[in-house]
Each structure stands twice: as C-alpha cells, then as structure tokens.
Amino acid sequence: MLLALAISTGALLPEPALASTVTTAERKLAARVDRHLPAALGLLERTVNQNSGTMNFAGVKAVGETFADEFRDLGFRTAWVDGAAWGRAGHLVAEKGSRGPKVLLVGHLDTVFEPDSPFQRYHALDDSTAMGPGVTDMKGGNVIMLVALRALKEEGLLDQLRVAVVLMGDEEASGAPLEAARADLLHAALGAAAAIGFEDGDGDPRHVVVSRRGSSSWVLRVRGTSSHSSQIFATDVGPGAIFEASHLLQQFRDSLAMEPYLTYSPGLIVGGTKITHEPEASRGTAFGKTNVVAESTLVTGDLRALTLEQRARAVATMERIVAAPSPNTSASITFKHGYPPLAPTDGNRRLLAMLDDASRGLGLGALEAVDPARAGAADVSFLEGHVPMIVDALGLKGSGGHTVNETARLQSLAWQAKRVAVTLARLARAPARGR
C-alpha cells in the first residue's frame, strides 16, 4: 500500500480548548506565510499556465510533478499513482512524519478546461485579482496547502504531525470504476484525526464547508399502450407513456417536496412511438405522430441528498411510486450513485470552530458554515465515516469557476494559509486518544 504510515487503530482528538487569542509563536507562524507569498504567486502562475484538463493526461501528470517537487522540498515522500485502471491520468500522494496526530489534506490537479479551450493562461488583472483556468478550482488551493506546510516546517512544527496529502487527477470528471478511482484517497484516510479540503467552495472567504450534498443519477423508463390518439384514456388504452411519465414525475414532487436540501431534477425527457437514448452523449431521439398514443418515454435526472439516510428514503419513495403505475402502462427506475454526501457532524463543526477561533485571533474575521445547498460535490465527501473531523473550502477564493471568467481574489491566499497553518499547529499540540 502507498501510505506505509497509515495505522488501522486510528486516533480521535479530544474536543480542543479554543484559545481566545493567537500566541506569539502562532503570530510568527502567520508571518512566515507572508514571506512566501511572492514565491507562492509564481507557483500559482506556473501551474495555471500548464493545461491540466481532466482528459489531458500528460498535462495532469506535469502539474502533479510540479507540486511533487514542492512537497519533496519540504521532506515529503511522493508517489504517482497511475490511473489507467480507472481511465484517467492518476493521483499524486505525498506523506511525511512518524509521530503526532495524522491529518489528511485533499486537493486536485485537473481542471474543466481541456487543451481545445480558449482559456489557457494566467492573467493578473491588478495587484489583488487574477484570471486563469483552475486558478481557484483548484490550483490555488494546492498552493495554499504548500504555503501553510512550509510555514509549519520553518517554525519547527511540521514534524509534530503525520501528514498525508492526496491530489486527485480526476475530480472534475471521475474515472470508472469509482471505487478504484478513490481507493488511494480512502487508504490515505486510515488513522486520520482530521481532513481538510482545499476547494474554493462558494467563493466567500468567510465560509467553510462542513456538509455537502451527494450526487446520484436516475433513469425512469415508461411504457404505454400504443393506439389511435382518439382512444387515449380509454379503459383498454390508458394514458400512454408521455402522460404517465409526467404523472410519475409529479408524484415525485408531491411526495418529496418537504425534504430539506433534497433535490430531484429531471434533465432530459424523450417520448414517442420509438425513442433512442445515448447516455454518454446525454441526448436522445424520438419519433411519434400526433394521432398515435405514445408507446415509450425515458427520463434522466439528478438526485442530491445531504445524508445517506435521506438518499435512501428518497430512492425508496421514488421506487414505490414507480412500482404502482397507471393501468395499461409499466414503469421502471434505476439509480447510479456517484459522489456521496458529507453529513453535518459534530466532528466537522468542531474543526470549523478551531479554524474560526484561529481566524478571529489572527484578525481575519469569523468563519461560518456554508449552506449545504450552495456546496457542490467534492472528494472529501468520500471520507464521510472514515475521518472524524472533515472540512472543505480552505482554498483560494474568487468567482466564475468552471467558466472562462474564473477569477481569484489573491489576498485570500494568505488568509487561508494562515488559518490552516495555525489550526494544524493546534492539532499537533492536542493529545490523541483511541477511538
């Protein structure tokens, strides 16, 4: 296995005693961050200028090697995990330390901008903002991670932690099978007391993700009794496939509308006498005449839930509805679960409280949890149930993610690195106890 330092017994941190102010040593740690900002911005520009669209395997690996050099300079052992088994470039794994609490830091190397995108270069707009593919999502987050770790090393604190880092190569378009694509992330989580993700979140520097909804997909197939249109709703014909599909969709809404944070959105519908569906291309075709009752309908949709329990309830409800179609029709529904939800646990809120206290003490203002409805799927969600304290969105903040207007607020690089560095230093001082 890649992470020789992982332990099976695990360690839980006690509830930390939150300091009201930062110590002199912690202020020195924050000052270290400021000294490294010019180099950090240079690293950000270099990595943004290297295209690493998910399917540009050579580009993803090149960005991984650039970051690997930085981790090796900090004394980390690094390994490139080839992604051929799941159809992607692979992941970068780095590890350091043999004592103290274990923390897992999570980022990703790929972007949504492939080599044919017109958006390819870093461009500084002024002293405080810059545009570029992946500048916030999430090469900036990877840089923040490194700046915080470098500050800890220079203050002699890094060796008080066991640190595992996983920079995924397929966050924007996951490889398959997903279980193989996330196996190294889950292995890195063994024995971890806390995990921090460096996504940009909702772009607000006051916000941290402690929970987010998972994503699943579903396919509803409906068959009706074909007949002349003048016979629709007759006892031996029924409503036809299109009417029945709309009836079932409305029942989904009526039955699930009161579930907070749950969404179930149909994204494509194809209906008629004959239909085709190309799932990989997310498209379909239909043939039908106005004087013929529709025989076939297919609907594809998205399901997002805040907890595994909520997802299970929604699936059961939708399956129950589909199992009782109207007379002279038949229906079936299938589900495919992708990113799991990250539930809002006490442990996650405890880690947020530590970050909030560090931020206040540093004069950087309060931090609060993002509304889960505004938190998209991310790799830290796979750590649910494996790591007792998980937060995300400690990355570079900005706007326009996944568009050619992706823009970073460069001041947030220092803010986030200082918050993370001080929090990691406090985690290092907290004695571990068994589960």
List the CATH number of the domain containing 199: 3.40.630.10
Shared domain for 172 and 48, answered yes or no, is yes
Q: Tell whether 154 and 196 lie within a shared domain.
A: yes
User: Nearest 5 degrees, angle CA 44-CA 188-CA 91?
Assistant: 45
Can you tell me the distance from the alpha carbon of 359 to that of 417, in angstroms, rounded to the nearest whole number? 10
Flag whether 375 is in a domain: yes
Instruction: For residue 424, give Cα distances in angstroms to 29, 344, 353, 397.
Output: 11, 21, 13, 20
CA dist 3 and 304 (Å) reads: 32
Q: What is the pLDDT of residues 72-124, one digit of tens each?
A: 999 999 999 999 999 999 999 999 999 999 999 999 999 999 999 999 999 99
Note the pLDDT of residue 20: 55
Together in a domain, 206 and 279: no
In a domain, 289, yes or no: yes
What confidence category does residue 309 fall into, taking pLDDT thresholds of 50, 70 and 90? very high
* 67 and 100 part of one domain: yes
Phi, psi of 231 (to 5 degrees): -105, 5
DSSP 154-189: HTT-GGGSEEEEEEES-SSS--SSHHHHTHHHHHHT
**For the chain, what is the mean pLDDT?**
93
Instruction: Let me know whether 206 and 296 are in one domain.
Output: no
Is the same domain home to 163 and 138? yes
Last residue of a domain, one of 337, 365, 383: 337
d(CA 350, CA 210): 10
The verdict on residue 4 lying in a domain is no
- 3: confidence class by pLDDT, cuts 50, 70, 90: very low
Note whether residue 91 is domain-resident: yes
Q: Residue 394 belongs to what domain range?
A: 24-212+342-429
Question: Distance (Å, rounded) from C-alpha 190 to C-alpha 375?
Answer: 25
- Whether residue 7 lies inside any domain: the answer is no
Q: Domain boundary residue among 315, 337, 359?
A: 337
Long-range contacts at 360-367 (CB < 8 A, ≥ 24 apart): 361/19, 361/20, 361/21, 361/22, 361/26, 361/422, 362/22, 362/26, 362/27, 362/30, 362/418, 362/419, 362/422, 364/415, 364/418, 364/419, 365/206, 366/206, 367/206, 367/207, 367/208, 367/419
Q: Which CATH number is 325's domain given?
A: 3.30.70.360
Nearest to 111 by CA among 176, 45, 54: 54
Residues 61 and 143 in one domain: yes
Q: Tell me the C-alpha distance between 264 and 334, whole Å.
A: 14
d(CA 332, CA 91) in angstroms, rounded, equals: 38
- Banded model confidence at residue 2, pLDDT cuts 50, 70, 90: very low
Final residue of a structural domain among 287, 308, 337: 337
Q: Into how many domains does the chain fold?
A: 2
CA distance 274 to 288: 7
Mean per-residue pLDDT, 236-255: 98
Which conformational region is residue 201 in: left (phi greater than 0), alpha (psi within -120 to 50 degrees), or beta?
left
Helices (H) and strands (E) in the chain, counts: 10, 18
**Do 149 and 201 reside in the same domain of the chain?**
yes
